[in-house]
Amino acid sequence: MNRAGENTVKESKLFKLGMNRRRNIAGTVFAMSPLIGFFLFSFVPMCLSLYMSFGEMKTFDIFDIEMVGFANYIHIFTEDSLFFKSILNSFVYAITTVLLRTVLALLIAMLLRGITHGHKLISAILFIPFVCSVIATSVMWKWVFDYNYGVLNDVMDMLGLPRVDWLHETSTAMGVIILQTVWGNLGFGIILYTAAFAAVNRSYIEAASIDGASRLCIFFRIEFPMVSPTTFYLIVMGFINALQSFANFLVMTPNGGPDYSTLTMVFHVYNSAFGYLNFDYGMGYASALSWIVGIIVILFTAANFWLEKKWVNYEV
Amino acid sequence: MKYNEKHKVRRYIVLAVNYFILALFCLFVLLPYLIVVSTSFKTLMESTRIPFHFIPWEFTVDAYVQVLKTAAIWRGLLNTLIVVCPPMFVGIFTSSLSAYAFSKIQFPASKVMFTILLMTMMLPGVVTMVPAYVIYDLLGWIDTYWPLMLPEVFGGISCVFYLRQYFNGLPDELGEAARLDGLSYFGTFIWIFLPLAKPACVAQLILWFVGGYNNYFGPMLYLNSENRFTLQLVVNLMSSGFDNNWPKVMAATIIMIVPMLIFYVTMQKYFVEGIAMSGLKA
């Protein structure tokens, strides 16, 4: 009797152990695939990249590598003037586009709250560029800013101003791409802000307005703090993307624009590895460059997260 | 009474100003499209007339006919579908399986694995661009579809986050009941949770497809032969040609974006939900 009881306990324990093991195996195996993908297609290449960054390669062949120590890194900081230029360009681009996009999206989301009809239609229109590829939008903007046939130069004519070769002039090329980016990303921010505003508890606002708070005061003291997680997300994700963006630059201004005024950090990496600079620099140099760029992006992201504590409010 | 009247007038003015500013923004967004559409319906001669005029004098669909008769466009479309669709379906499946495990199965490594996934999202992708090419070159995968398809099969990390969030909203009891009835963990996923997560999966499929269809950088980097080009590369090649047949380039651009626009208009709800949720979870 006693023994039998013990046995059942033992058996049920074993059964439970088997159940647990099955659960653990199932969970781990099912959850594994994105991690395998990351390991194969990101982690392994990153290790290889670190190795390559200490070597010189004249071809794409990994076995044709000559180890040169820190020479690539030293070259980046001492002789590569394009590197510093590309950092500056990337930051100008990232700061302007992210700020403009965030402020405009917030403004439009506020305006959308204040209207009675057509809310859906307007946000649908503003979102359209988001589903269009970089090729499509670049064809459009190149056409608008074309020196000979562009609409903008017609407007300049009408105003009696001289025609400008927008995409081939140092002072304007970056501006055109910034405008294109803000235009293309407005809808994204608007959707996020609209969703965030919908989640704001109306009773706070009503209470404040009964107490006599002005519209502006309500915005800055209640609404803006309440959507601050969305603002933070837009800024951080915006920076991570903008600091690394270059496909639009490549299509709009091949090779980095007039006097490299639109050469971004990643564009410089691309040019060193695959572009016309490949003959001078090669894959080893490009790898070293990509690590420096990666570290800059990570540091900047970390700085954003550090600043987050100062102004983002997660209590809704 | 008087106060009310004044109040009403003020409200109407505010409303009008709101509409006016929003209309300006809409115009700003639509203007490039209108210009391109207008050019695409012009003749070659008329398209280079200065100054620009919106309504074509000689309305013609020649450019569209020309583009649609180009074999490269159709081959490009087919190539795009081949590259994007199969890995997309597999990728959504693996993503949702992984999301289900993170949400509904309590296994010890769950926390660690999820944290690693979170961190990978913060890693800058630029670092993998150069070595990945070297590896694909070593494997002989350059100018094939493997580098574009294979990484997708393992699922997207943001997709996993989104779907996990969705699974979190479904009651755990469903899975427990199915388990008691003798279904395996995999069976519970296939028969109980996957059908329930259909709206979320559809939302992710749409975003995935649009992303894949619009992808330019990957195909540009890995594909060399023109008969393997995706639609984006074909149109890019057309637009950077030397003949500068503007109406044709514009028509090709319009033809390229129309499927996405139709997609967007009919599935707007999914787009908005998919994007709004990705932002709110942060």
- Does position A176 have pLDDT exceeding 50, yes or no? yes
Q: Of A199, A110, A283, which Cα lies nearest the Cα of B25?
A: A110
**Domains assigned to chain B:** 2-62 (no CATH), 64-280 (1.10.3720.10)
Residues 57-76 of B with CB under 8 A from A: none
Enumerate the residues of chain B whose CB falls inside 8 A of the CB of residue A283.
130, 133-134
Q: Do B110 and A301 touch (CB under 8 A)?
A: no
Q: Encode pLDDT of A186-212 as tens digits.
A: 999 999 999 888 888 788 888 888 888
**Amino acid identity at B242:** F
**Token representation of residue A258:** 């007039």
What is the rounded distance in angstroms from the CA atom of residue A193 to the CA atom of residue A161?
Answer: 39
Q: Do B14 and A22 touch (CB under 8 A)?
A: no
**Token representation of residue B263:** 């997609």
Question: Which one of A20, A24, A33 would you mutate to disrupt binding with B, by most B Cβ within 10 Å of its Cβ?
Answer: A33
Question: Which one of B35, B110, B127, B263 would you mutate to disrupt binding with A, by most A Cβ within 10 Å of its Cβ?
Answer: B127
Nearest CA in chain B to A272: B130
For chain A, say whether B124 makes contact (Cβ under 8 Å).
yes
The reported pLDDT for the residue numbered A8 is 61
For chain A, say whether B168 makes contact (Cβ under 8 Å).
no
- CATH-assigned architecture of domain A75-311: Orthogonal Bundle (1.10)
- Does position A42 have pLDDT exceeding 70, yes or no? yes
Enumerate the residues of chain B whose CB falls inside 8 A of the CB of residue A187.
29
The reported pLDDT for the residue numbered B6 is 79
Percent with pLDDT over 90 in chain A: 53
What is the rounded distance in angstroms from the CA atom of residue A113 to the CA atom of residue A198?
Answer: 9
Percent with pLDDT over 70 in chain A: 94
Nearest CA in chain B to A185: B29
Of A31, A61, A247, the CB nearest to B98: A31
Average pLDDT over residues A16-30: 85
For chain A, say whether B282 makes contact (Cβ under 8 Å).
yes
Distance from CA of B124 to the nearest CA of A (A): 6
What is the rounded distance in angstroms from the CA atom of residue B100 to the CA atom of residue B102?
Answer: 5
What is the rounded distance in angstroms from the CA atom of residue A264 to the CA atom of residue A249?
Answer: 8
pLDDT tens track, chain B, 282 positions: 566 787 888 888 888 999 999 999 999 999 999 999 999 999 988 888 888 888 899 899 999 999 999 999 999 999 999 999 999 999 999 999 999 999 999 899 899 999 999 888 878 888 999 999 999 999 999 999 999 999 999 998 889 988 998 899 899 888 888 888 888 999 999 999 999 999 899 989 988 999 999 999 999 999 999 999 999 999 999 988 766 789 999 999 999 999 999 989 888 888 887 777 765 543
ipTM metric: 0.88
More confident residue, B118 or A135: A135
Question: Which one of B130, B134, B209, B257 would you mutate to disrupt binding with A, by most A Cβ within 10 Å of its Cβ?
Answer: B130
Q: Do B155 and A23 touch (CB under 8 A)?
A: no
The reported pLDDT for the residue numbered A263 is 94
The reported pLDDT for the residue numbered A9 is 59
- Listed by start position, the domains of chain A span 1-42, 75-311
Residue A202 burial (C-beta neighbours within 10 Å; 0-12, 13-18, 19+) = exposed
Enumerate the residues of chain B whose CB falls inside 8 A of the CB of residue A157.
50-51
What is the rounded distance in angstroms from the CA atom of residue A312 to the CA atom of residue A86?
Answer: 31
What is the rounded distance in angstroms from the CA atom of residue A246 to the CA atom of residue A301?
Answer: 18
What is the rounded distance in angstroms from the CA atom of residue B116 to the CA atom of residue A38?
Answer: 10
Distance from CA of A45 to the nearest CA of B (A): 5
Angle separating helix axes A173-199 and B2-40, nearest 10 degrees = 140
Average pLDDT over residues A276-289: 85
**Predicted TM-score (pTM) of this structure:** 0.89
